[in-house]
A and B are shown apart, each in its own frame.
Chain A
Amino acid sequence: MFSLAVAHLAHRKLRTALSILAVSIGIMMLVVMLALSHGMLNEVADRIQSVDAELIVLPENENVIFTAGAAFSGKYAPVIDAFEYGGRRVVKQTIGVMLDTLHMGGQQQRLFGVDRADMSAFLGRREVVRGRLFDEGRAFGDRLDGLRNENGYYDPALVGEAELLAACELVIDERLARVGDYEVGDEVIFLGRPFEIVGVVESGVAGRVFCPIQVLQYVKNGGVPWVSLFFVKLHPPPLAGGDQDRLRVGPSEASAGGGASQVSYEEAIADALSERIKAKVELKGAYRDLMYESFSQVYVYINVASGMALIVCFIIILLSMYTMVLERTREIGILKSLGAGRAYLIGLSVVEATLVCVCGTTLGLGLAIGAKLGLEAAKPLLTVSIEPAFVLIALGIGIIGGVLSALYPGYRAARLDPVAALSME
C-alpha cells in the first residue's frame, strides 16, 4: 500500500507538489502566528520576571499590562514599606515606576522611569556594557529630595531648565541599541527635550529604555511624586530551610480568599496587602498569565485566522484526493477486481494524504523558520519564538488533517462499483 501510494504521488508530481505547498503554507501561517504572538508576549513577560521583586501593586481599576502615567500616589510607598504580616514587616523594598512610551528603534518603546537607587533591582546580574547608568551619584534625585516638603512635594520653579536638561538621560538595552544603531552620547527627543543616551545594558532587563523617574514626574506632573505602579520586594519567609521562595502557609494565615486550598507566602501577603491599601496587588509570577488574559481577544483572532488557513489547506487536500478518486476510477476497479477491500482503498487514500501532509508540514516548518529569520532581520525587535510545542501541534494538525481530509475520498473510492469502474475510459 505504501509503495503504491508513493508511486501515485510520484506519478502526479505537479499535483503532489501543489498539495504539499498548500499544506505547508497553512502550517507556516499557524506556526509563525503562534511563534510571533507567543514570542512577543513571552519575551515581555520574561523581562518583567527579571525584576528582583515578588509583587506588583497598582490602583484597583488599572490593568498591570496597560497601565501608564501617574496613576498611583507615591504616598502609598511608605505604607507598603511598613506593611506587616503575621506580626512582622515583610516588605524589603518598594520600587516606584512611572511608565511612558517613546519612539525609538522604529517603533514605540515602553519607557521605565525609575529612581537611580532602584536600578539594581532591574539590572540584577546584568551589566552595563557601555557608558554608565543615568543620574550618576543620584545627584538629581538627591537635589529634588532636598527640595521636598514633608508631603513629598516641591516647587518646580526651584528647578532650573538647565538642571533638568542635565538629568534628561536614557539607558537602553543592547538589543535596542543594535536595532536603532544607537551609541552612547546620541540624543533622542522626548517630551520636547533632548535626552542623551548615557549607557547600554545587557538585554533581558524589564524595559528597553530607562530614565530617571524624577524627570518624568517633573515634566508630566509638575514634580508630584506619583507613579504608575510599584514593584515590591519581600523579605524571605520566617522559617529557615526548605523552599523559602514558595513556602506554603495554611488558609488560616491567608487574610482573604484562602478557601480550602493552600496559598503561597506571596499570595497570602498579596491578598493581605491588597486588603490593607485597597489596591490591586498582583504576583509578579502571574504577569505572563495576565498578559495572555489581557490579549485573549487577540488570540481568538489569531486562532481563528490560523484555523481558517488550515481548513482551506485541508479542503485543498480533500479536493486533490477527490479528484484523484475521479481520475483513478478505472484503477480502483482494477484494485477491486484483484481483491482490494474497502479498508485497503480507504487506507490507500489516507496514506497518500498523510504523506502529502507530512511533507507539507515539514516544508511548512522549514518555511516558518525562514519566516522567523526574515521577520527578525526586518524587525529585529520582534521575538519570533518557534517552541517545540508549536512543532508538535503542527505535526499533529498536519497528520490528523491529512487523515480526515482523505477519509471521504477514500470512502467514495471504496463504494465504487468495480464493473462500472473498469468500464471507465
Chain B
Amino acid sequence: MANSDGIILRAERIRHTYRSDGIETPVLHGVDLAVRRAEFVTIMGPSGCGKTTLLNVLGLMMRPTGGAVEIDGSRVDGLGDGEQTMLRRGKLGFVFQRFNLLPVLSAERNVALALELRGKSDRHDAERNRSAGQRVAEALDRVGLSDKRRHKPGALSVGEQQRVAIARAIVGRPRLLLADEPTGNLDSRNAAIVLDLLADLNRSDGLTVVMITHNEHLADRADRVLTMIDGRFEQQ
C-alpha cells in the first residue's frame, strides 16, 4: 500500500558513478523523483543520460553511489541482497526493450516462472487461493495471447514476445511496473499495441508505471513526462 501522501516510489538525491579500471564515470547527479500510486510516468532523454541507470536503481537491480530510495514508504536502498530480491519479487515488475524471455520455455511457462519465483512472498496476496495456472491464463488473456500460450519465444513475433513479457511482469500483481523502452524494438503498430496495454493496465488496474521511451508520441500517453539530461531531470 502507498504511504499517506499517495507516493509509492520516491527517490531523493540519487547519484551514481560507474567505476572501471580506475576510471570514474558519473551518470546520475542527485536525481529526485516521486511517483504517485496509479500514476503513469515516462522518462525521456538522449542516450547515455542515465535513464536506464535510474530505472535499475529504482528497480533495486543496482545500488546507487548515493541517495535514498523508498518504495511504499519504506527505505529500501540499504536493504541486504536477499531483502531487495524479495521486494523485487513481490512488488516490482520489469519490462525490457529486449523482452528478456527465456527461450527454452513456452509463453505460459515464462509467465508462470514469475509466479514460481514469487513463491512464499506471494503468501499474503489476496488471490493466493487461485491456482497459478488460472493466473497465468488470465495474464496471457489480458495481453491477448491465450491462443499462443504454448509457443516458445522463437515462434512468436517481436510484438507478441513483448506482450508475453508484459504478462510475465503483471502476473504477480506488482505495485510498480518499470519499463525500459518497451517499444524500442517494435514497429509502430506493435508499439501502439504495447502502449495501449500499459495504459490500460494503468487505468483499469491502477498499476503504477514508470516507462523509459525515446518516442515523444508514446510519451504523450503518460500522466507525466520527465526529461533527463546529463544525469538529472530537466525541471530539477
Contacts and interface: CB of A to CB of B under 8 A. Distances in A.
B103 interface: yes
A336 B116 CA distance: 13
B56 interface: yes
B133 to A, nearest CB: 13
Contact of B88 (A7, A333, A339, A344): A339
B6 to A, nearest CB: 26
A10 B103 CA distance: 12
Nearest to A425: B98
A418 B88 CA distance: 12
A339 B104 contact: no
A303 B15 CA distance: 60
Given A7-B109, A344-B117, A419-B56, A337 B61 contact: yes
Contacts of A336: 61, 85
Interface range, B side? 20 to 34
B85 A341 contact: yes
Contact of A4 (B88, B90, B113, B114): B113
Contacts of B85: 336, 339-341
Nearest to A340: B117
Nearest to B87: A339
Interface in A301-349: 330-331, 333-342, 344
A10 B117 contact: no
B82 interface: yes
Contacts of A338: 88-89, 94, 113-114, 117, 168
A367 B95 CA distance: 48
Contact of A337 (B59, B81, B86, B103): B59
A424 to B, nearest CB: 11
Contact of A7 (B59, B105, B117, B121): B105
A276 B97 CA distance: 94
B116 A1 contact: yes
A375 B109 CA distance: 47
A422 B113 contact: no
Nearest to A3: B109
Given A337-B59, A338-B114, A339-B85, A422 B105 contact: no
A125 interface: no
B102 A331 contact: yes
Contacts of B104: 4, 7-8, 10-11
B61 A419 contact: yes
Q: Which of A337, A339, A341 has the most CB of B within 10 A?
A: A339
B90 A339 contact: yes
B100 interface: yes
B117 A422 contact: no
A337 B105 contact: no
Contacts of B168: 338
A419 B102 CA distance: 16
Q: Which of A3, A331, A338, A341 has the most CB of B within 10 A?
A: A338
Contacts of B62: 418-419
Interface in B151-179: 168
Contacts of A344: 117
A342 B85 CA distance: 9
B40 interface: no
A423 to B, nearest CB: 9
A341 B82 contact: yes
Nearest to B172: A339
B90 A422 contact: no
Given A1-B116, A3-B109, A419-B56, A337 B102 contact: no
Contacts of A8: 104
Given A339-B88, A339-B89, A419-B61, A11 B103 contact: yes
A337 B94 contact: yes
A334 B88 CA distance: 12
A7 B113 CA distance: 12
Interface in B44-88: 56, 59, 61-62, 81-82, 85-86, 88
A344 B88 CA distance: 14
B96 interface: yes
B86 to A, nearest CB: 7
B142 interface: no
A226 to B, nearest CB: 76
A337 B88 contact: yes
A356 B92 CA distance: 34
Nearest 4 A/B pairs, CB to CB: A339-B89, A7-B104, A11-B104, A334-B100
16 contacts: A4-B105, A7-B109, A8-B104, A10-B104, A330-B100, A334-B100, A337-B88, A338-B114, A339-B86, A340-B85, A341-B85, A341-B89, A342-B82, A344-B117, A418-B61, A422-B96
